[in-house]
Amino acid sequence: MEALSAGRPSGRPANARGTGVEMTAFIASDDQPAAARVRDILLCEGLDCTASSVSSLNQASERVTQVQPELIVVTLFPDPDRALAAIAQLHAQIAQPILAVGPLGDSRLVLRALRAGASDYVDVSDLEAELRNVLARRLAEMPGRAKPGPVIAVLAPSGGSGSSTVATNVATVLARQYKKALLVDLKLHAGDLAALLDLKPTHTLGDLCLNASRMDRSVFEQTLVSHSSGVHLLAPPRNLADVSLVTADAVRQAIHLGRALFPYVILDLDHSFAPEQVQALRLADKVVLVLRLEFACLR
């Protein structure tokens, strides 16, 4: 397996992205599992939140000065009083919005968080849905913010139908029209998109999944290999041993990051109901079904 380094790619402005304006985020929390969960949601929504943008409450004030984020998320547990003090300090220090994450059942805690300087309060019991709603509202207010790129899934009910060729051609046409497009090879056991494009990937989806806990824009972009047409390929694992590294959750993260960075995401799916294939189908805005005039395609 190849190692992927964290950090921002050189030669690119800090707030550049493929389809619009990227919001940088910072997490202050003394609960590491909660912070990891929040970061996963932020990354899936296309925000820039590197591993170094996660801090304890004690270090939050100093780290925020270094990172200069556009959005701050503070978890109120396990010690609400310390978290509220951190919110008050951060609110006095910077003007960026602060999201407080905590239990909604404690109305007094909600009020204290808002009085301390929180812009929004997110219910931890429904964290993913609540945080996504708040982020959608905040991101919509940003000038130049573009909608996430549509996801097109291409699959065939049987092998040899030409779905990989169709996926490659669709990606190439869209890349020429929109300057770039992401092509994801999810035929984990026998993907051939790299061969069709005459590319030799250095990193693969297996490497990306191995680094899923710190997957961000930088790590994601390092995994891609680019074609002269503007197509950027996320290749499947090189060997069968790495196929087991690919999880539905990591695929979901990768697709969300792709949507944030590219005007279109094209998925070349396998004809199976493996968890990662089902996850990809659920995220697709359009599905292209490639059929041949034979019984195997109709079953």
Give domain limits for the chain.
25-140, 151-297
- Does residue 47 contact residue 25 with C-beta atoms inside 8 Å? yes
Q: Does domain 25-140 match CATH 3.40.50.2300?
A: yes
> Per residue, what are the HEC states of the chain?
CCCCCCCCCCCCCCCCCCCCCCCEEEEECCCHHHHHHHHHHHHHCCCECCHHHEECCCCHHHHHHHHCCCEEEEECCCCHHHHHHHHHHHHHHCCCCEEEEECCCCHHHHHHHHHHCCCEEEEHHHHHHHHHHHHHHHHHCCCCCCCCCCEEEEECCCCCCCHHHHHHHHHHHHHHHHCCEEEEECCCCCCCHHHHCCCCCCCCHHHHHHCHHHCCHHHHHHHCEECCCCEEEECCCCCHHHHCCCCHHHHHHHHHHHHHHCCCEEEECCCCCCHHHHHHHHHCCEEEECCCCCHHHCC
Q: What is the pLDDT of residue 41?
A: 87
- Does residue 253 contact residue 36 with C-beta atoms inside 8 Å? no
Q: What is the pLDDT of residue 104?
A: 92
Q: Which amino acid is at 213?
A: S
For 32, other C-beta atoms within 10 Å of its C-beta total: 10
- In the chain, the N- to C-terminal Cα span, in Å, equals 38
Q: What is the pLDDT of residue 291?
A: 86
Q: What is the pLDDT of residue 136?
A: 82
Tens digits of residue pLDDT in 281-290: 999 999 999 9
- Does residue 268 contact residue 186 with C-beta atoms inside 8 Å? yes
The closest of 254, 219, 253 to 8, measured between CA atoms, is 219
Comparing 25-140 with 151-297, is the CATH topology the same?
Answer: yes
Does a cis peptide bond (omega within 30 degrees of 0) precede residue 80? no
Q: What is the pLDDT of residue 6?
A: 45
CATH architecture of 151-297: 3-Layer(aba) Sandwich (3.40)
For 266, other C-beta atoms within 10 Å of its C-beta total: 32
- Which residues of the chain register pLDDT less than 50? 6-21
pTM of the model: 0.69
- Does residue 35 contact residue 57 with C-beta atoms inside 8 Å? no
Cα(83)–Cα(257) distance, integer angstroms: 30
Q: What is the pLDDT of residue 3?
A: 52
- Does residue 31 contact residue 232 with C-beta atoms inside 8 Å? no
